[in-house]
Each structure stands twice: as structure tokens, then as C-alpha cells.
Structure 1
Amino acid sequence: MSAIHPRPRRRGLTDDCLVERKSVSADLIFQFLGEQWILVAALATTLTMLVLHETRKAGPALSINEAVQLVNSEGGVFLDIRDAADFARGHITDALHIPAAALANRAAELEQFREKPVVVVCKMGQSAGPATKTLRSQGFSRAQKLSGGMMEWDAQKLPVVTQ
């Protein structure tokens, strides 16, 4: 029978030493922040400006649950602004299709929804912002974008229809 030996420890390394190493790295972080406060302030300012810019671009995005509830309860519509090929591969039931490039010229097709919620849907939730802004500038005050776009819709395994 062989005896079970405890795992050998590295020489000179104790639990106290490990705790001290963790605090040393925290001390280094605080030292860096103190010495480079201008860089930290610039980073914080840049991130704040980016968040504000994205929020102002088209307002806050609706979650999928909020969008479905809004469209169902208030007679709104989903507006899919993806290209025709993506739309044909699968879209939200009863969604209208106007490609983003044609939206400014074809917004009149949405006239019956001027006072109702218009939820703008794109592929990933990025290009819906400018489209929503375009609609709002043309009087569609209740236009909002869908957070995550069709990728999020698909990820939640919600139903889609194909042409």
C-alpha cells in the first residue's frame, strides 16, 4: 500500500503571502488610477458621451416583450427595414416591409399608423435607430426601435413567417 502524501507546497509560499499578493495588485490598480487620472477621466467622459449619443439617436429601444405588447394592445405595426432577401427568409407576422434605403420616400405608406406605435426592426438593432429618427422627423411620434432586432427575435425562438 502506498501512503497518501499531501500535495507539496512551494517553498516560502503561505496563505498570508497570497493575500498580500492580491492586495498588492489592488494597490497597483489604485496607484495607476491616481497617477493617470486624466486618462481615466477622458475614458469616462468618452463612454458617457457615447451612451448619450446612442440614446438621443432614436430614443431608448423596446424589449421584445414591450414591443409585442405595444403593437397588440394599441394596434401598432412592426416595420421591417432589412433588405428584401432577409425579409423573405423570415420576418415577424404581419410586419410591413420598407427597406431602410427607401424609407424616406415611402413613409407615406405608413400614414394609417401615424398616431400608433411603429416598431422599427432591423437585423441586429443597430440600423433601426436612424430609421426611427427619420420616421419621427416625418411625424411618426410613436416610432421606436426594437432592441436586438431580428437576431434577438430569433434567439428567443419567436415565430417568423417566410414569403
Structure 2
Amino acid sequence: MNDVLHKLPQFLGNHPFLLALFVALVLALIVTELLRLTRKWKELTPASLTLLINRESPLVVDISAYADYEKAHIPGSRHVPPSQFDPENKDLAKVRELPVVIVDKDGRGMDKAASRLVKAGFTKVHTLGGGVEAWRQAQLPLAKGKN
């Protein structure tokens, strides 16, 4: 270990690109974690979503493409296409104080929708980490078709 510490300054001096890359990666990780910790919504696992469904009956909004929603969705979820997702909608305004969970096919497009809900005054906003695919991998029930 002592030998490694003696050779480290020489290695870093000989490889400034690797040092810069390492520093950039560490900074990117720190910024990503800080942003995750300061956002106003919580990311749920399939197990924690199941618990939330059983305890508080949240509104589960699936913003997947319609074809993906028809192939597989969480039972009881409501489909809203991303192009029609409007947190200021009168129907959604009625549930501002209830938990709302945003779900999509693979968990990639939910942050923007969750952010819009928070800006619209929703207090209990959640997303499902990994989306419906994570739900499927947890071997939880899926519905098919329109409902």
C-alpha cells in the first residue's frame, strides 16, 4: 500500500487525461446525487409502490405510449399520453393532496412529468423507478388492453 502511495503522484503526472476524467466522473456523481436529494418527489420501488397502493390508494398515471400501455400496465393505472399530460387539468386538480404516482414503460420519461406536478402544487408526487419494466421484473401483476 505504501508503495502505491509513493508512485501515485508520478502516475497522475504522467496521465493528466485520466486524472481529469476521474475528477469529472466524481463531480458528475456528486451533482447527480445532490439533484436527486433535492428534488420534490420520491422515487419508489415496486415493493414500496405496492405498499402505497394498499395504504393510501394513490392515483397511478401511466404516461407511456398508448401501444405500450395496451401491452402491459399496472392494474388500476390511468393512461395519459405525454402530449396530453396537463397538471392544471380540472380532474387532476381535485387530487392535489392525494398521492400521485407517475409511471412509464421503462422509467426514463417520468422526471419531467413529476416536476410539472410539483410546480402545479401537488404535494405527494412519486415516480416508479424503472417503470412498468421494473414492475414486471418484480413479478407483480400486469393488466393488458385499454383498462
Shorter chain as denominator, the TM-score bin is 0.7 to 0.9
Q: Within 5 Å, which residues of 2 pair with 1:54-93? A: 54-56=36-38, 59-93=41-75
Partner of 2:112: 130
Paired letter, 2:67: A
Tell me the percent identity: 25
Task: Say yes or no: does 1:141 pair with 2:123.
Answer: yes
Alignment partner of 1:43 out of 4, 16, 25: 25
Alignment partner of 1:151 out of 124, 128, 133: 133
Per-residue deviation, residues 80-107 of structure 1 (Å, max 9, x unmatched): 0101111111111110111122112674
Partner of 1:104: 86
TM-score between the two structures when normalised by the length of structure 1: 0.72
Per-residue deviation, residues 51-109 of structure 1 (Å, max 9, x unmatched): 33355456441111111211221121211010111111111111011112211267433
Q: How many residues align?
A: 141
Q: More relative contact order in 1 or in 2 (CA 8 Å, sep 6+)?
A: 2
Larger radius of gyration: 1
Q: Which runs of 5+ in 2 are unaligned?
A: none
Aligned equivalents of 2:137, 2:76: Cα separation in 1: 20
Q: Which runs of 5+ in 1 are unaligned?
A: 1-22
Residues 121 and 128 in structure 1, CA contact (< 8 A), matched pair in contact too: yes
Aligned equivalents of 1:110, 1:55: Cα separation in 2: 26
Aligned equivalents of 1:107, 1:32: Cα separation in 2: 62
